[in-house]
Chain A
Amino acid sequence: MDGLTEYFDAYLSLFEEFDVLGAFWVNIQLAFWAAIGSLILGTVLALMRISPVASLRWAGAAYVNIFRNTPLTIIIAFGVLGLYAQLNLILADDFDLNFFRIAVLGLSVYHAAFVCESIRSGVNTVPLGQAEAARAIGLSFLPAARLVIMPQAFRGAIAPLGNTMIALTKNTTVAAAGSVAETAGLMLAMIEFRSDVILMIFLTFAVGYVILVIPIGLLTTYLSKKLAVAR
């Protein structure tokens, strides 16, 4: 029994030494800004991919195929080693904030490809008659997309978009490769400091992510049912 108490004392003392909640807060912020960035970029890409203009379709497809097939680790490493160290891209005067913004940029650019594909699968759920009706009342491509197709496509794309956002949340840990002080880096530091309570440290962070991810999943399921277009 004594051993167990000692084990938990050692484990609990870690929380005084390390700011676990602060690290999770960094990941939440990364996920929040990258979600906004990737949703905007992904929507633009999806519009390009369904547009009547061949060159834009081609460019959108090229973007998706390139970024979907590149490991996120390379994109994040490229941001720090390439964009920052070689090309002197500076997004903030503050050192840490600069790396944070570069990581948000990398995460947005990568996940935009998946957001684009999710929205495109949403467009596939919109019946042909909707587009035909839009054309019949004289709407051209952009108004038809904005007023008729996209609102329904977003509602049909909630489930795949939710999956993308869950993956995005988990992928914020990869920002560790971009010198951002977040959970993966903190977990490594804690394990190096106290390798005797390694299992509890891992479980703490793992459960933290389970807690972060479950609400997104529940919200997605709720929204995709509530917002489903009745047809």
Chain B
Amino acid sequence: MSAQKSVLFDAPGPKAKRNMAIGNAIGALAVLGVVAWVISGLAAQGQLTAAKWSPFLDPGTWQFYLIPGLLGTFQAAGVAILSSMLFGIIFGLGRLSHNGPVRWFCGLIVEFFRAVPVLLMMIFFFMLLATSGIFDPGEAPFYGVVIALTLYNGSVIAELVRSGVYGLPKGQREAASAIGMTRSQSLRNVELPQALVAMLPSIISQFVVILKDSALGYIITYPELLVNARRLGSGEGNILPALLVTAAIFIVVNFALSWIAQRSSVFLSHRAGRKVKGAEMTEIEPAAEPK
């Protein structure tokens, strides 16, 4: 922020200070006006009555709807985070392989799953599992969510791993081969650990994406937070407050994760006083992909 401040305007003089104060007041009034307009609109539609909001003070609401929903979200997202890391590392290394067909195959998989909408994959795997009879049909939505999230986000993480390895100084690989390591030993023991650390902020940002996308499970009836909020809303007749509270829960959790990502990026840029090329790249576009 401070860098951008100096890009566009100078240190203000007395007149500019006065103008900025006036602008600030007008801006604040405009923002407050929008907020007041939304609140009065909600009130006029009877959305701010105690009956609509008091269910959130009832422990039962949290016990039977929101907390099980949040656990469902965390469960799907947690498993998807672990499996997409695994997928990402395997295919990221596969794309760096010296074996042509392996590199080509991993590249094809990664590029394909990055281009297909997550929701289509979710519906496909959900229906595939539900009709195949391999899993209990009740489990199909969970696996549908996890598999789709893994394939998409795993592919994104594979690209992060690849660019992390590219960003490392050449000397690392040369030193590894100098002490007699094979290419795959060097990748696994020398380059990958450093690449993962360098790309940590981007990888954590991708976890935010996984958490957000787990809400797509709503469409294939996986019992996550949004599904439960809708059930709560139709039971209590307060669908609007229920959706707002759900959004607030997601915002708090994701904000905490984004904050960790930012801290890790700051930590890494100070770490050992050495420039990590990959870490620089991540600062340009944190969570650049809005999925």
Contacts and interface: CB of A to CB of B under 8 A. Distances in A.
Contacts of A191: 123-124, 127
A182 B243 CA distance: 24
Interface stretch (A6-14, A62-70, A91-99): A62-70
The residue among B8, B112, B216 with the most chain A CB atoms within 10 A of its own CB is B8
A187 B31 contact: no
A70 B253 CA distance: 10
Interface residues of B, number: 65
B115 A209 contact: yes
A171 B239 contact: no
Of B9, B25, B112, the most chain A CB neighbours within 10 A belong to: B9
Interface in A108-147: 110-111, 113-114, 117-118, 120-121, 123-124, 126, 128, 131, 135, 141, 144-145
Nearest to A59: B31
B27 interface: yes
B290 A184 contact: no
A206 B243 contact: no
Contact of A111 (B212, B226, B287, B290): B290
A40 interface: no
A35 interface: no
Interface in B213-263: 213-216, 218-219, 226, 230, 233, 239-240, 243-244, 246-247, 250-251, 254-255, 258
Contact of B24 (A54, A65, A174, A192): A54
Contact of A71 (B31, B41, B212, B239): B212
Contacts of B16: 52
A71 B115 CA distance: 19
Size band of the A side of the interface? 35 or more
Contacts of B117: 170-171, 173, 184, 209
Given A71-B212, A74-B247, A52 B20 contact: yes
Nearest to B246: A74
A128 B7 contact: yes
B27 A77 contact: no
Contacts of B119: 173-174, 176, 184
Contacts of B251: 65-66, 69-70
Interface in B1-33: 1, 3-10, 12, 16, 20, 23-25, 27-28, 31
Contacts of A45: none
A55 interface: yes
Contacts of A120: 4
27 contacts: A50-B7, A52-B8, A55-B25, A59-B27, A71-B226, A74-B226, A74-B247, A77-B230, A82-B243, A85-B239, A114-B288, A118-B285, A128-B6, A128-B7, A131-B6, A141-B8, A160-B285, A163-B289, A164-B289, A167-B291, A170-B116, A174-B219, A184-B123, A184-B219, A188-B123, A202-B121, A206-B120
Interface of B: 1, 3-10, 12, 16, 20, 23-25, 27-28, 31, 41-42, 45, 47, 112, 115-121, 123-124, 127-128, 131, 208, 212-216, 218-219, 226, 230, 233, 239-240, 243-244, 246-247, 250-251, 254-255, 258, 284-291
Nearest first, the 9 closest Cβ-Cβ pairs linking A and B are A71-B215, A55-B27, A69-B254, A114-B290, A55-B28, A170-B117, A202-B124, A73-B215, A53-B23
